[in-house]
Structure 1
Amino acid sequence: MLNDWMVERVLLELKDPSDAKCALGFFHWSTKRRNIEHGIRCYCIAIHILVRARLLNDARALLESLLNKTKESSSRVIVADTLLGCYPVTDSHPIVFDLLIQAYAKLRLTDVAFEVCLYVEKHGFSISLVSFNTLLHVVQKSDQFGLIWDVYEHMIQERTYPNLATLRIMINALCKDGQLQKIVDALDRIMGKWNSSPSVIVNSNLIFRVLEQGKMEESMVVVLLKRLLQKNLIPHSVAYSLIIHARIRLGSLDSGWEMYEEMERRGFQANSFIYTSFIGAYCREGRIEQANVLMQAMEERGLKPYGETFDHLIIGYANLEQLEGCLSVCDKMLSIGLIPSCLSFNTMVEKLCAKGHVEQVNSRLTLLLDKGFSPSDITYTHLIEGYAKKDEIQEVLKLYYEMEYRSMSPGLSVFTSIIQCLCHCGKLEDADKYLWIMKGQPLTPSVTIYKTLIAGYRQKGYSIRALHLQNEMDSLVIHK
């Protein structure tokens, strides 16, 4: 009786390209007439025979059938592994692995496709640019922005360099992810205002992404940049700037400065991007004086600071709790038509409100709102906490209503501040009202909120209400 093993033997007898159509006919005949459920190995032998005979459409059809059959398998590389195992006995061609990657991509099994790509390359086979482009296209269509850059980075590491189709796919991914303007702005600060090519945009973004993730040592980043330089995929000015930026980001600030000075002696032109990188690093290390010296040097050289340059200084001053420095930088930004980022302003608000300077910060917020600044709920939370510490209930409620007007959802800390402030001012009924509003959000009141209300009611002699709140607190699963 015909079985799968016998089918394999017959197929191998028909492995010569001249017999490939007979092999395919026998494969289908044995399925329909003999009701044989072909195993993975049998499929793979047939696929290899078809590939060797360049019957690629037939090979693709069998591959798709096999992948649909095995997609629930516990092993994601079972088909690739079997194809590798059958490869020597069929005298096949490496293109079979390209067809495999393309078939996975067509079925939108993109994670598996990339895993199989790595697996196949580990066994000595290369994947073509066409297959990478096919995979990148499907990944981009699926909005898998992390995966698309992982695949692209792997391509460069393997010395498979992009063509126009690749770059078009990657630019589309940057657009869809909302990152295109960000990288174009960064390049403008390195090279000045000019139309960056798709290659420069894509490959610069790759380096920025690698640095942000912090998953690669400096030496590997330099190797990556050298490969891009060798293929003219990135200009020297950008490459040198990114090498210095990489050293700074990876924690070698002083050696980064030494490298910069050496490169400048060799003719490297300084730019706003490099100065801002150094200023940010000095601010993160608390070396605000050196950051200011660089800011002055930058302006003396005719290099224009931009929003991020000032943001670094604001955060640097805020972390050192230097009120005047924060406000001075913020005012300078406003004077030249810039506004701080929400992150830097929130850092300033948090630090200065904690020091009791809530009025000065709130006045700056008013100015910023007139300039188009968009505060976050964190901005209001810090301000409310600052005014609550001073028991300025009118300012607290004013900010709360402003949050509502802006369709922001006050969090636990906002309600805690409001209720504590109202209780300190003896307005227990109003505090109770905000407890009720809070429950309707829905937010679970904290132990602090309940204890504040209970203490307030007991102090006023309202023991029944205090007992009710005590029982309510005991019955709820609440924040500790």
Structure 2
Amino acid sequence: MRADHSKHDEEDSCYFSQLRRNYEHSAVDPNTLQGSEAKVCEYETNPPDMILSAALEQFDTATAHSLYELAIQLLRKNNPMQAWECYTDITSRNMLRYLSRDQFRQLIAQFNHKASYAEALEYVITLVEDMKSFQHRVGIKEKFHVMRLLGMNGKLKEMEAVFEDINSDPATGDVQKHFNIMLTAYQHQVNTVGRKRVAEKSMEIYNTMLDQGLRPAPAASRLLMENVRAGGNSDTMVEIVWGWFCNSINTRTVDLEPSLYRDLVMFFASAGRAEYALEINDIMTKNGVKRDLRMMTALIHKVGRSGDVGKAMDLFNEMVNVEDCQPNIVTFNALIDIHAHKRPLPDFEGANRIYAMLHEMGLKANVRTFGTLIDMFAKEGDITTVRRLYKDMTANSKIVANPHIFSSLMECFIKNNDRESAISVLRILRSTSPHGVKPTEAIYNILIRSFIRDDDPKSAFELFNLMKKAGLTPDAMTFSPLLSYYADRGDAANAQIVARHMSSKNVEPSPHTYTILLEAYAKANDLEGAERVFRQSKQRWRPNAYAFNSLLYGYAKMNETDKIFDTYKSMLKTYIKADQFTYGILMYYFSKRKEVKAVESLLDTMHAHGVVPGVNCWTILMHTYFKCGLAEEGRQAMERMVQAGVKPNYVTLSILVKGLLSADKVDAAESVINKAIDRVTEQRRGGPLEQIKKAYPDRQPLADITTSSTITYERDLPTTIEDLLDSQRSSQPVIEIPPPHLFDPLINAYRKRGDCEMAKELFRKMRDLGVTISEGVYVSLMKVFMHSGQHDIVALMWDHMRRPAAEMNIPEIGLVPYPSIQSSAKLLALNEDLCFEPPETSHDISSFSLSVYVDSLAMQGCITDIEQLWEKLTEEKFSFDEQSWNRYIVALIQGGKLAKACQVANEQFLAIADETDQVKRVVRSGDDLPATTDTHLHTRTCRAFAEALEVPGAEGMGNTLLKISVNDCIREYIHKEHRFENDVA
């Protein structure tokens, strides 16, 4: 055995000597030791006087011990630097041989704890090497010190080498400290190693303990689970831990620490994996492992929230009757919470029963208890129960409501159309400011943004007016979503009204306020307004990329070449780096001009400047190819985008479908749409779990927000991902349903080639998928039925538009929901008090649907019906547009009413002098507009007039010449009619 120790000591000597050579700046000079050896040889060959030698020896011993004692005293006073000076003094005097092994060990232990990690490592390695040089054996405790310091200094490979050295020493026996040091060191270096890797290494170390037949102590199990929790609870991490438990833990026959099982249950519960937590719970029950209150509360909560309330109640009974654990307020809050979130409807009776049981147990409800109950009943509008609970909370329990409870009260009152009470709640929030939360920021701004995101500006403005009635002062953040709503639609007039209202209320605008206004003017094609806002903003703040991009976009839309390049140069001179949106706008400009090489060059420039092209840039490139008739290059652009790791969005796919159809590649377009349908169908098969994963990648719905918390279920319930989803459900679409404009081009392609049945089938797929039925798709379906000769269904669809209902039933299609129609500018117009103006026109029926209905009636020869329809709509102040007037004129011509057609054409198009009285033009995104924006007779209308008026040579005329000739003929015809009427008179 001693021979083994001797051999091991030799290996230690070699190893620590190697470590020592890594610290060349140490205070110990190797020449000192060589000088000491030389002096020993001299003493042997030339021995001095024995008495003098003994006196000197005694003096050196006393000096060394004095310096040693001084060093220990300095270390105890937390002065390691002066203590090290004492030690180097001993070394320089060649007195190290007078220090015993215990004294070396004491110095190592003191320097280990009293110095910083970096200094301590240098000191301890020097001491260990000096110990070895004087034939002192380095014990296991010293190795532990070296291990710890190496780990804390990030020298993990060296630490692992010392660990292997200790682990291979037969004298180590049942000692587990080196395992704990390893676990602690990995925990300390988690940011360097990586959280996932630390968790995996910790499990490997734990396996090593078990493989050596050791029963890990509670400290080792605690460190292990801390590192596992730090690894997070993503799907990948959860499966790794579960695989480790099944393969390495559950197969052991050794009696493991009970806390390990409890912590694993807590881990899987916090990760939202109730099924794994239940399996470990069953193992604990089978093996008689004690389950404590915290673990059982967590298990009850997550099992209940996962949908199995019955199983949760069984676990509660086991906790009370089998484990003899007395439930606390956290347990009862968990029980109330699972009944409040029971699907598909909350269990009101069960929640009330738990609330009564809580009082029977002599416990006092806290703010979490009342908050959950009040929120549950508030969502149902049960104001009686809410009032009772609120009174019990404030009067009997003396608990102050938090913002969450106040927001629930507001929701309850609004649900009962009790706005006065809702305003009172706002006043209470304003006067008390519970927990220091400003109600303006905490409630109003968030709610206003959510209404705007849901395309519900009316509710947003109603909430804004509630703020004013409650005496609350909005800030710039409150107005930002309201401004953005109109800016996105290019409605500069209403955006300016909101801005003026801000000014009248003395609300200080932010830089973001100006950039939103700038965007509104740019999208409204009002370049003078955009430039004015830019100058105003520039006087107060340094322009940012967003401001320059908005201005560039306005110039690009209006084809202002010089201003585009001047603005771009100014942007670079201001040292603002062009981003992907800057390049995207420039690509959009050249794409409009069909300059393929310029668009490609800009994409190459982005790569050269280190700007990663986003999906918009790739989409513009693809669109450019298709516009220029380069269908194959357009398809390859999509492949290049995917290869670059950029995920196409639905705008990209819509342009791809339209481009493929323009190249007569119907099969390829069908493939794109079918893949989109399959993706959504696959997501839905996963149920709610997959929906939540969409919003929170790598997180389970019941996963705790704080993954590494060790105090959950001790004082309160944790917040889960599902709670966040519930609170933000209105603004967090989890399954991305394709937009209608993805399907519309294919429906029209089927119609044009006479395959109306395929068009109807595609519409059915859209509807079943939950795609919003837009105005464009609805009109396309009307055209499908018109081309198939089913004019009765066209009339039915028109009547459906006139009398909006939830849905209508078409025999061949089934239920058809009412289409989603963008409200007109007049319906959304604001007055200076930010209230909606009453509409001056009839219901905002689509002018395109009217055109299709008129065509359908004309095909049936029902000209009288068309005239009667026009008279009725005129009485209702219907907002006819250029499209509908042209359709009406063509119908009159086809019905033989040429005189009336000429009269209408003259009144609506030819005789208009004042631009403000011009007929409204409806413009769809993607329309190729003519050079002039004047309203005019369409080519189809001109052809119909040319045939009826017998315009000579009309067949060979171009569109411009035809229009001029037809206009002259109409005027001449009207002049003849007037002269004839005068002659008759």
TM-score by length of 2: 0.25
TM-score by length of 1: 0.46
